[in-house]
C-alpha cells in the first residue's frame, strides 16, 4: 500500500510540474517520495519506486530541458536516494519491520530507565537517583539496578559503568542490566560481582568490560557490605560527626580476567547517615587527576548537609558535571 501511494504521489508531482507550472511542483519536489520511501518501504519496493521517480525526472528533463530541471536537482535526488536506500538496507539486515527501528530504540531506553527505578523503601530510608548520558543522548553506558531481598529486609543496589558511551554502550548496558537484575538478590552479596564478572567473561567481547559498585544494606540495623570492581570509591556521610569519608577498596575491572579480585568493605549507616555511589563520569575531567574531581564532588555533597539530602543527587550533578563529556549516574541513600 505504501508503494502504491508513493508511486501515485510521484505521478501527481510529474503531472503538476507540466500542468501547473514550475512554481507549484519543481523537479526537486520528487525528493518527497524518496525520503518517505526510505522510511516506509523495504529495499525491493524502494528500488521499484526509484525506477518510477527516475522515469518522471528524466521525462520532465527531456520535455523542458536542463535549464528548467537544473543539474543540482539530480545531485540532491541521488544523494537522498542513497541515504534512503541505506536506511532500508539497515532495517532489512536487522530484521526490523517498517517503522519498528525507532520504536525498538524507545523500548530499549524505557527498559533501561525502569531498571534504574528503586523499589519502595521502608520508613526511615530515602533515596535520590540521577542518570545523565554524554551529550544529552538517549542512551547511556551507566546504569543502576536495585531490589529488596530477604522479604524486604535487605536493599541491594548496583551502579555499573559499561565501557563506551552513546548507543553502542546503551545496548551493552541493557544486556548487562538484564543479567545483573536477575542476579541481584538471588546470589549472596559477596558473590554478586564475581557472578557478574563470570557473565561478562563468557560474552568474549573485546569491549565488554565494566566497573561496578554493589552495596547490600540491612534495613533494620543499617549494616552494609560494599563490594567494588574497578569503580571510584563510595562516600559515607556520618551524621554524628558531620564528615564525609571515602570508602576506598580496590578491585579488578569486570570482564577482563577470570576470577577477578573484588574489593570489599563493611560499615553501618546510622540515623542521619548517607551513602553516595556514582560513576567516574561525575569526577573525571580530561587532563586532570581524579582527586580534583573527587574534591569537587565532596564540596557539593558538603553543601547538602544544611539543606537536607532531598534532591541531593541532582544538586551534585549540576554542581560538579552539569555538561560532562561522559555518562553520569549518582545514587544517594540516607536514613532520616
Q: Which CATH number characterizes residue 306's domain?
A: 3.60.40.10
Clarify whether residues 203 and 62 are in a common domain: no
Q: For Cα atoms 228, 230, 231, give the angle at the middle one, nearest 5 degrees.
A: 65
Higher per-residue confidence, 181 vs 141: 181
Domain that holds residue 158: 108-335
Clarify whether residues 148 and 46 are in a common domain: no
- Is the model's pLDDT at 20 over the cut of 60? no
Clarify whether residues 73 and 131 are in a common domain: no
Instruction: Answer whether residue 289 is part of any domain.
Output: yes
Among 16-30, 171-185, 307-321, name the most confident range.
307-321
| Domain final residue pick, 98, 131, 160 | 98
Clarify whether residues 144 and 9 are in a common domain: no
Query: What is the 8-class DSSP label of residue 311?
Result: T
Instruction: Answer whether residue 316 is part of any domain.
Output: yes
Clarify whether residues 39 and 185 are in a common domain: no
For the segment 50-68, the average pLDDT, to the nearest whole number, is 74
Distance of CA 172 to the CA centre of its chain: 9
Share of the chain above pLDDT 90, in %: 40
* Region of 21 on the Ramachandran plot (φ > 0 left; ψ -120 to 50 alpha; else beta): left
d(C-alpha 50, C-alpha 85), whole Å: 10
| Domain final residue pick, 98, 125, 155 | 98
In this prediction, residue 104 carries a pLDDT of 59
Where b means 16+ CB within 10 Å and e means fewer, 41-76 reads bbbebbeebbebbbebbeebbeeeeeeebeeebbeb
Clarify whether residues 312 and 220 are in a common domain: yes
- Is the model's pLDDT at 277 over the cut of 70? yes
d(C-alpha 196, C-alpha 254), whole Å: 7
Q: How confident is the model at residue 162 (pLDDT cuts 50, 70, 90)?
A: confident
d(C-alpha 32, C-alpha 45), whole Å: 16
C-alpha to C-alpha distances, 285 to 17, 320, 321, nearest whole angstrom: 57, 10, 9
pLDDT, the chain, mean: 83
Report the domain count for the chain.
Answer: 2
For the segment 166-191, the average pLDDT, to the nearest whole number, is 81
For the segment 24-38, the average pLDDT, to the nearest whole number, is 76
| Domain final residue pick, 65, 98, 131 | 98
- Is the model's pLDDT at 168 over the cut of 80? no
Q: How confident is the model at residue 22 (pLDDT cuts 50, 70, 90)?
A: very low
Amino acid at each position: 500500500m505504501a508503494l502504491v501511494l508513493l508511486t501515485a504521489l510521484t505521478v501527481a508531482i510529474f503531472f503538476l510540474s507540466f500542468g501547473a507550472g514550475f512554481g507549484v511542483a519543481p523537479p526537486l519536489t520528487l525528493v518527497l517520495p524518496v525520503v518517505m520511501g526510505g522510511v516506509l518501504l523495504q529495499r525491493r519496493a524502494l528500488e521499484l519506486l526509484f525506477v518510477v521517480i527516475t522515469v518522471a525526472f528524466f521525462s520532465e528533463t527531456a520535455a523542458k530541458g536542463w535549464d528548467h530541471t537544473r543539474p543540482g536537482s539530480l545531485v540532491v535526488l541521488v544523494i537522498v536516494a542513497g541515504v534512503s536506500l541505506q536506511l532500508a538496507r539497515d532495517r532489512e539486515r536487522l530484521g526490523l519491520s517498517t517503522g519498528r527501528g525507532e520504536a525498538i530504540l524507545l523500548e530499549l531506553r524505557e527498559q533501561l530507565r525502569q531498571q534504574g527505578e528503586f523499589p519502595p523503601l521502608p520508613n526511615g530510608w530515602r533515596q535520590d537517583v540521577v542518570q545523565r548520558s554524554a551529550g544529552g543522548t538517549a542512551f547511556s553506558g551507566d546504569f543502576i539496578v536495585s531490589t529488596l531481598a530477604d522479604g524486604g529486609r535487605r536493599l541491594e543496589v548496583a551502579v555499573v559503568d559499561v565501557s563506551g558511551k552513546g548507543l553502542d554502550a546503551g545496548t551493552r548496558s541493557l544486556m548487562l542490566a538484564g543479567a545483573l537484575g536477575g542476579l541481584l538478590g538471588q546470589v549472596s552479596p559477596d558473590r554478586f560481582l564475581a557472578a557478574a564478572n563470570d557473565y561478562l567473561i563468557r560474552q568474549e567481547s573485546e569491549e565488554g568490560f565494566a566497573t561496578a559498585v554493589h552495596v547490600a544494606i540491612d534495613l533494620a540495623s543499617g549494616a552494609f557490605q560494599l563490594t567494588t570492581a574497578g569503580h571510584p570509591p563510595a562516600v559515607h556521610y556520618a551524621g554524628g560527626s558531620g564528615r564525609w569519608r571515602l570508602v576506598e577498596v580496590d578491585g579488578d575491572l569486570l570482564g577482563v580476567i577470570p576470577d577477578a579480585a573484588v574489593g570489599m568493605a563493611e560499615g553501618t549507616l546510622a540515623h542521619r547517615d548517607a551513602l553516595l555511589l556514582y560513576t567516574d563520569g561525575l569526577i573525571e575531567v580530561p587532563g586532570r587527576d581524579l582527586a580534583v574531581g573527587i574534591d569537587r564532588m565532596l564540596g557539593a555533597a558538603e553543601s547538602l548537609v544544611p539543606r537536607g539530602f532531598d534532591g541531593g543527587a541532582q544538586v551534585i550533578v549540576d554542581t560538579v558535571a552539569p555538561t560532562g563529556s561522559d555518562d553520569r549516574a549518582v545514587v544517594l541513600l540516607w536514613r532520616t
